[in-house]
Amino acid sequence: MKLFGFRIPMMASLVLWALVWEIVGRMDVIFLIPPMSSIISAGFGLVATGSWQSASLVTVRSFVLGMALAIAVGVPLGIAMGRFRIVDNIFGLWVNMFVSAPLSALVPILMILFGLGETTVVVTVFLFAVWIIVLDARAGVMQVPPSLIEMGRSYGASRFTIFTKIILLSALPEILAGIRIGLIRGVKGVVIGQILVSIIGYGELFELYSRSFDMERFWALTMILFAAAMLLSAVVEHFEKRIEYYAGAR
Amino acid sequence: MHMAASPDKVGATGGAGNSSSIAETLAEFARRRKSFWIMASLAILFAVWEIAGRIPISFAFPTFFETVTAFAEMVSDGTLVRAYAITFQPLLLGITASAVLGIGLGIVMGLSDKAEWLLAPVFIVFQAAPMAALVPLVTFVYGIGLVAKTLAVIMLALPVIVLNSYKAIRHVNPSLVDMCRSFQGTRVQQICKIIIPDAAPVLFAGLRLGIAAGFIGVILAELLITPTGIGDLITYHRSIANYAHMYAAVASIIAVSTLTLTALQYVELRFLRPEKRRK
Amino acid sequence: MANPRLAPTAHPSGAASPDVIVEVRDICKHYNDVEALRDINLDFERGKLTTLLGPSGCGKTTLLKIIAGLVPATSGQIRINGKTVTGPGPERAFVFQDFALMPWATVLRNVAFGLELKGVPQAERNRTARHYIREVGLSGFEEKYPHELSGGMRQRVGIARAFSVNADVLLLDEPFSAVDEQNRRKFQEDLLQLVEKERKTFLFVTHSIEEAVYVSDRIVLLSPRPGRVSQIIEPAIDRSAAPDVIRRDKSYLDVVEEIWQGLRQYAE
């Protein structure tokens, strides 16, 4: 299989799997797997319904809020950790711990603290996304070649100028990479948050469809969600690739 | 990309000179020992926690000491140990299955372009997918028992292990493989004597990431399928408003997961890549 | 201004030297649209050290790897001892530019690796390995790991490994390029001694003119884009003299200068 790059094999192989799904679905092997074609038509029907649209609104709202917070807090903290050893020392333990910890365990606590509503979901998204954003911002700042900074100083640049004109730009690709991964994690956060809270947004819909065994709509919703997440990630990746050379040879 | 948690102990500072003040000694000590900062971080958190609990910021927010007491109680009367014994079953089963299957698949995908084309996108989708939506589906087929939970662990750990394993194989030093070929090594010899040993450290790292995913999987299973073990402790104490106990249980799973992963990272650095060990 | 020391040998199309061990016939190599090598025809005499010399992009490493059997030629033939070869074989051993040492194995295991692949029993292969470890001057380092060695020492491990399999032809791909200048000179001298001692055929790739003139019986100059044989030179230098004397010998310096003038046009 000649690989021209990533995009082509990704789509070609998945198309093959979609076909396999269609065949398995038609053979009615298990109710969990309806034919792909009926999922797709259910999907089109779904997006027209009011319930989906309002659920999407709630979900998108929570997601965007949580992500915005995660970026607003995460990027500066990561940069601070990369620049100042003392910040790194204080926060290093927590960031490294939470980036691979099972954060879902925290959601029950969030539920009793923030109630069974959107706030909990927003905090969940924040917590899921922020740690990797911090780590990558930190890594980006620490990877700036020292010779670049020395160059700036030798030409008489102020600390602020060095920071904005050299360090930030050089670290930008890695910061974007962290945001990209943070977005994927944020989607996981919004889903787990809503499912556990289970009375709002997509969480409510998932609960509804699985309870009534409406697998077509269930899968349609999953795929819409997933496609949205992948699209967002691809958009960020596009920008990331365009400015990848800012970091020199990473 | 991630910082390695390596508690460097660069020998204690020598006796402070008569002229140094306490603050200077402390600063010097802080600069040299990483463990100081771990202690300081923890101390700061515990202090903030205690204060927040006393205010209190919420009726459902116990103080640090209340939580510690609850934790000690659960350890001493055995509830915590029993809970972990239950929670660890699907975790260990799932990780083992994922490791065997995952590394095997990863090796195949690393060596065969066709296998990669066919399988890599599937696992990439799985790794990025919000599994929380899919885990409950398992109950339709496998009920709410051990099998279902083990499957949930596999659903989360397998993609991580597969993807890391196959990248490990693909990033083997091609010069080494060429060297083996130049001495007329057969393909089997290339795979067994060069490719797998060269990929071993990254394979192990992938396993470690898989175990992290496994912890996430088992917690999702306990929260979404049915609570047993630690999940049961959390839900039970929440239902009777024993918030200190609930928090203690949550903190314990985070701590257990972190300690396990740190231990694995230590093993990895110390035994698998002596030349990359931080000095 | 022909230098009498530079005796360009005629293209060996018809009369072959009596003891040719490697024959390169009409070798061409294409990478997609790029022509890396065109119509290479060369003979290599047994027991001699021949260097492939040229600027970057002239395909010298590619040619070496084709002779080694690591890279397939687009067209043409390689014959070793009269037999056509298409892949690696026991009569050839390769020394890599980046050393290609297994980082998880000791020096002893690395040197014995060629024999290990052939199924030679452990006691015997370790004995052979120890002998060559001593020959390259690494006695006492048998149990060390590559990351504990300097670049020069690692390359010596690679050379010991190549000797251990008792191949007729040794192919060395810029073996000293990753070594610092002082050690490099020492290695060149050591290499000459090994050549004297082992009486094998050596094919050497380098981009250093001085190195080529110092060690070689014969220099093949390749010109780039596409790689072609441009000149063959046999430096008539008295190698019995001490190394420092050789490096200041007039004929040595003249050959170097002549080659440099010839290659100058390719400098960017």
Residue (of A76, A133, A131) closest to A99 by Cα position: A131
Task: Say whether pLDDT at C9 is over 70.
Answer: no
Q: Where are the alpha helices (DSSP H) in chain C?
A: 60-68, 107-111, 113-118, 122-135, 151-164, 181-198, 209-215, 243-248, 250-263
A136 and A171 belong to one structural domain: yes
Give the per-residue pLDDT at B277: 40
Q: How far apart are CA A200 and CA C129, in angstroms?
A: 72
Q: How far apart are CA C44 and CA C91, in angstroms?
A: 14
Q: What are the extents of the domains in chain C?
A: 20-91+168-266, 103-166
Question: What residues pair up with C78 in beta bridges, in sequence order?
Answer: C24, C85
Give the per-residue pLDDT at C103: 92
DSSP secondary structure string for all residues of C168-197: SEEEEESTTTTS-HHHHHHHHHHHHHHHHH
Give the per-residue pLDDT at C34: 87
Total domains in chain A come to: 2
A106 and A2 belong to one structural domain: no
Q: In terms of CA atoms, which chain B residue is nearest residue A97?
A: B258
Q: How would you classify residue C122: left for phi > 0, otherwise alpha for psi between -120 and 50, otherwise beta?
A: alpha
Given a contact cutoff of 8 angstroms between Cβ atoms, the answer to whether C130 and C142 are in contact is yes
SS3 C83: strand
How far off is chain B from C161, nearest CA to CA, in Å?
10
Q: Is the ipTM of this complex over 0.90?
A: no
Calculate the average pLDDT of chain C: 86
As a whole-number percent, the residues of chain C with pLDDT over 90 amount to 50
Of how many residues is chain C composed?
268
Give the per-residue pLDDT at A14: 87
Tell me the pLDDT band of C163, cut-offs 50, 70 and 90: very high
In total, the C-beta contacts within 8 angstroms joining chain B to chain C are 53
Give the per-residue pLDDT at B279: 31
Give the per-residue pLDDT at B1: 42
Give the per-residue pLDDT at B36: 81
CATH of domain C20-91+168-266: 3.40.50.300
Q: In terms of CA atoms, which chain A residue is nearest residue B230?
A: A105
A148 and A216 belong to one structural domain: yes
Give the per-residue pLDDT at B275: 58
pLDDT digits (tens), chain B, 279 positions:
444 433 343 333 444 444 457 777 777 766 667 778 888 888 888 998 888 888 877 888 888 889 999 999 999 999 999 999 999 999 999 999 999 999 999 999 999 988 998 999 999 989 988 888 889 888 888 988 999 999 999 999 999 999 999 999 999 999 999 999 999 999 999 999 999 999 998 999 999 999 999 999 999 999 888 899 999 999 999 899 889 999 999 999 999 999 999 999 888 888 876 555 433
Would you state the structure tokens that stand for residue C45, as one six-digit string? 């005499």
Give the per-residue pLDDT at B55: 82
Give the per-residue pLDDT at B274: 59
Q: Which residues of chain A are within 8 Å of residue B216 when distances are taken between CB atoms?
A: 102-104
Q: Which residues of chain A are within 8 Å of residue B122 when distances are taken between CB atoms?
A: 13-14, 17
Residue (of C39, C52, C44, C42) closest to C22 by Cα position: C44
- Candidate from A12, A89, A100 with C-beta closest to B261: A100
A21 and A145 belong to one structural domain: no
CATH of domain B73-276: 1.10.3720.10
Tell me the pLDDT band of C7, cut-offs 50, 70 and 90: very low
What is the tens place of the pLDDT at every residue in C223-268? Answer: 888 888 888 888 888 777 777 888 888 888 888 888 888 788 777 6
Q: Which residue has the higher pLDDT, A98 or A159?
A: A98
Q: What are the extents of the domains in chain B?
A: 22-61, 73-276
Give the per-residue pLDDT at B12: 39
Given a contact cutoff of 8 angstroms between Cβ atoms, the answer to whether B278 and B4 are in contact is yes
Q: How far apart are CA A98 and CA A185, in angstroms?
A: 13
Domain carrying residue A5? 1-26+34-48
Average pLDDT over residues C102-118: 94
Do A112 and B254 lie within an 8 Å CB cutoff?
no
Task: Say whether pLDDT at A207 is over 60.
Answer: yes
The distance in angstroms from the start CA to the end CA of chain A is: 29
